[in-house]
A and B are shown apart, each in its own frame.
Chain A
Amino acid sequence: MCLGCAIGVSILLMSLDQKPLVQFPRKGFSNAFGFLQESVSWIPRMTKVYRENQHLLNQLSHTAFREDQYQEVILENQRLRKLLEFKERNLFEFIPAEVIGRGTGGLPGSIHLNIGSKDGCRKNMVLLNDKGLIGKIVSVGPSTSIGQLVTDPNFRVSAKVQRSRVLGIVRWMFGNICQLDGVVQRSDVQIGDLIVTSGYSNIYHSGIAIGRVFEIAPDKEGLFLRILLRTEVDFGKVEEVFVLKTQDNR
């Protein structure tokens, strides 16, 4: 009887998943939980911070020297651009964020970040790091937010082969393996090709790296290719991410 009630309420909740009736308390809960997470997330970071500090001190001395050289190059670049009358490139702005927690569910599909609407973070902004695409923001609170990872079973992104511009849709399989769906046979795809976002989306810009192809085989039906790619991002160990700040979420 009790289990029946619990199952009934759970199924009701599932059917109301995207409705404000569920989304409103969810936002409140995740904000409160995010606050708790943020206040203790420094504990496991202590040893890492010490090691990083040592490493960064070493790097700093090298970087200071390089900085001077870069300044020279930048000035030179500006002079040359002026001479050629090139327009300034519209560079993207990134918001750095730290992962303060992960989804408590078993499937590794989401991360909690220490930035929120106060920092300029908005829903559907893209998450990435130096190795490529990580996911997107799905929920934003005042000072924390939740990101959906590529490893979420429901995550899909339109992608293309960088070399041959062949289009497909990327979805996660397991670990750091994804599959490029919807590529017809005889398409120009080779092992080692880099798969990037296609840009045919309201969310993802074109050219964000997703992974490299390591296996190509015809699928069971024989119409499409089964293309597997390996992401360079280790989703289980992501600790810092960048949120791609855009004016129109794109």
Chain B
Amino acid sequence: MIFFKTLFYLIVLFIVQSIFVPHLAIQGVTPDVLLIFLVYWGCRINRFSSVVLGFLTGFMQDMSGDSVAGLFALSKSIACFIAASLTRNRYELNPNFLGFVLFIATLSHHLVCAFVEYMNVSSGFFLSVLRYVIPSTFYTVFIGTGVYYLTNWMQHHIRRK
């Protein structure tokens, strides 16, 4: 059941990422809602499942786009591994800490992507880190932390009721 639930969320977020998120672009930089979800979800399951989830999400992204096949599978697996490792044995996941985990996971994800994409472009990697990786990471963390606060608030609200 949880598999289908996760798959459903991922498909919805895929559509959101490709159709709605580009409208939030600032100078071509967009947040990665898939990563926001993966970190949130990945922190609540074990490390193995988290890496598998990240790999499958990345694989779906690879297959639906025109980037190098396997690139997002690799970067998302690493991001999920980091997220799951950082939150291991932590039972209380407050939004600030999740935001920090998201920051590390997003940064590693974008760095892997930029490294592979710009491998054959001289000085392109460092330029892309400045122009894309850092802004995109902060933008994702900004949106993500807001989402985590909102879900946290909603959970408390529901529990109280």
Contacts and interface: CB of A to CB of B under 8 A. Distances in A.
A112 interface: yes
B132 interface: yes
B48 A2 contact: yes
B78 to A, nearest CB: 7
A148 B67 CA distance: 9
Interface string A20-49: 001001100110010011001101100000
Q: How many interface residues does chain A have, given as a range?
A: 35 or more
Contact of A2 (B52, B62, B64): B52
B38 interface: no
A105 B67 contact: yes
A40 B19 contact: yes
B66 A104 contact: no
Contact of B18 (A3, A25, A104): A104
Interface stretch (A11-19, A85-93, A161-169): A11-19
Given A43-B19, A175-B131, A236-B28, A109 B69 contact: no
B64 A10 contact: no
Q: How many interface residues does chain B have, given as a range?
A: 35 or more
A29 B60 contact: yes
Interface stretch (B1-9, B88-96, B120-128, B149-157): B120-128
Which among A6, A7, A26, A43 has the highest number of chain B CB atoms within 10 Å?
A6
Given A9-B73, A107-B113, A153-B121, A175 B66 contact: no
A154 B51 contact: no
Contacts of A13: 59, 62, 69-70, 73
Contacts of A25: 63
Which among A40, A106, A109, A174 has the highest number of chain B CB atoms within 10 Å?
A106
11 contacts: A10-B77, A29-B60, A29-B63, A33-B14, A33-B63, A100-B19, A106-B132, A107-B113, A139-B66, A146-B66, A174-B131
Interface of A: 2-3, 6-7, 9-14, 16-17, 22, 25-26, 29-30, 33, 36-37, 40-41, 43-44, 100-110, 112, 138-139, 146, 148, 151-154, 171, 173-175, 235-237
Interface of B: 11, 14-15, 17-20, 22-23, 25, 27-28, 30, 32, 34, 47-48, 51-52, 54-55, 58-74, 77-78, 81, 109-110, 113-114, 116-118, 120-121, 124, 127-128, 131-132, 136
